[in-house]
Structure 1
């Protein structure tokens, strides 16, 4: 999901000069960066790999908003290097989440479903709020539409985390958490690979 948003993160000059649009992006950036930290900390405390994997999506979205705000209109090589850093970060965190999920499957304890459910619901509220805030821009240029669509679609990952929490609570097993974590981490890794590939192609063009 984040990968799709990144492809149009550089927006038009009209979008960049819209004060309401830029203000909305700054708010969305702060919320997504904050939720990335919250989910990583909560996921570690609750031993929930699904929460940590869902944090990847918040990291990807925060990076997209930052790119839209800070590097639009500058040289292609600078945009490509920024995207490359984002892709490498997603690969690193995604690989770490996947590795910890595998280790937890071998001998880890069951996560805390209450923490999973509460934080997953908070993440859903944040994504829904961002989507509503960006709703007025849904008919703007490609960048505006993609940012709104991504915020709307991110709720799917939050619902998956809440479903995993119910699964852990109902079964007393860590497997629902681990399965959701593997899916979300896999999506993050896949997105990271695509972003790195596209960034390398742009660097070649710029060279």
Structure 2
């Protein structure tokens, strides 16, 4: 693991870093715009999955912002930043589970056409971001957290479209709730993965700094 971390650390230097920085700015702008769209339409349509996806867009915007702030910093700083993002992902997962439980209690059936249209636009937006960031998916835990969030967004958007079809076909709230719960579990498992990788990087960084210098 330490050897891999050093290799990924080198990946952020040179010509890759300016390109990655520009792509993060593009991703940040797209996610902020889609957050505004989905939170408004999610509230109006009563869709738990759209509201969950809107919060995911906001979390990803913060994710990209933090990544821009620590880009070019030492491995330990990037690892701590990725841990912060993982904790936010854990919070997102718990929040969505609570939201799904509330919608189950109220029994409000969301608007399937609104879910479908907004979900399609969100899929196009996240698909574009995923295509831009695909070549940076195997970096350190910070890069990895960015990619996992982006990948989860694409999967979440596809799930929202399936939920819209389910709501339209059954006139029931259950498809929307099932997708919201699935999105929360995806966020929770990704957060655990990032916490483990960042922990390995921090242990490797401490070992390298504590090792005696070789002459």
Q: TM-score, normalised by structure 2?
A: 0.72
State the match for 2:61 in structure 1: 62
SS of the residue corresponding to residue 13 of structure 1 reads: coil
Shift of 1:118: 1.5
Closer, same or farther: CA 85–162 of 1 in aligned 2, 3 Å: same
The CA deviation string for residues 10-60 of structure 1, in whole angstroms up to 9 with x for no partner, is 952121134xx4323211121023323432343233221111333355345
Is the contact between residue 56 and residue 90 of structure 1 (CA under 8 Å) also seen in structure 2?
Answer: no
Is the contact between residue 109 and residue 173 of structure 2 (CA under 8 Å) also seen in structure 1?
Answer: yes
RMSD: 3.3
Is the contact between residue 10 and residue 71 of structure 1 (CA under 8 Å) also seen in structure 2?
Answer: no
Closer, same or farther: CA 75–130 of 1 in aligned 2, 3 Å: closer
For structure 1, the 5+ residue unaligned runs are: 1-7
Greater RCO, CA 8 A, separation 6+: 1
The CA deviation string for residues 69-106 of structure 1, in whole angstroms up to 9 with x for no partner, is 33123133322332222122211122111112022223
**In the TM superposition, what are the counterparts of 1:62-141 in structure 2 within 5 Å?**
62-132=61-131, 134=132, 138=135
Is the contact between residue 57 and residue 188 of structure 1 (CA under 8 Å) also seen in structure 2?
Answer: no
Is the contact between residue 148 and residue 190 of structure 2 (CA under 8 Å) also seen in structure 1?
Answer: no
For structure 2, the 5+ residue unaligned runs are: 1-7, 207-215
Is the contact between residue 53 and residue 153 of structure 2 (CA under 8 Å) also seen in structure 1?
Answer: no
Shift of 1:121: 0.9
Is the contact between residue 16 and residue 69 of structure 1 (CA under 8 Å) also seen in structure 2?
Answer: no
Measure, in 2, the Cα distance between the counterparts of 1:75 and 1:10: 11
Measure, in 1, the Cα distance between the counterparts of 2:104 and 2:137: 44
State the match for 1:17 in structure 2: 18
Say which is worse superposed, 67-76 or 91-100, in terms of deviation: 67-76
Say which is worse superposed, 172-181 or 73-82, in terms of deviation: 73-82
Closer, same or farther: CA 168–93 of 1 in aligned 2, 3 Å: same
Is the contact between residue 42 and residue 115 of structure 1 (CA under 8 Å) also seen in structure 2?
Answer: yes
Tell me the number of residue pairs that the alignment of Structure 1 and Structure 2 aligns.
Answer: 194
Is the contact between residue 163 and residue 175 of structure 2 (CA under 8 Å) also seen in structure 1?
Answer: yes
Say which is worse superposed, 63-72 or 47-56, in terms of deviation: 63-72
Is the contact between residue 167 and residue 174 of structure 2 (CA under 8 Å) also seen in structure 1?
Answer: yes
SS of the residue corresponding to residue 38 of structure 1 reads: helix
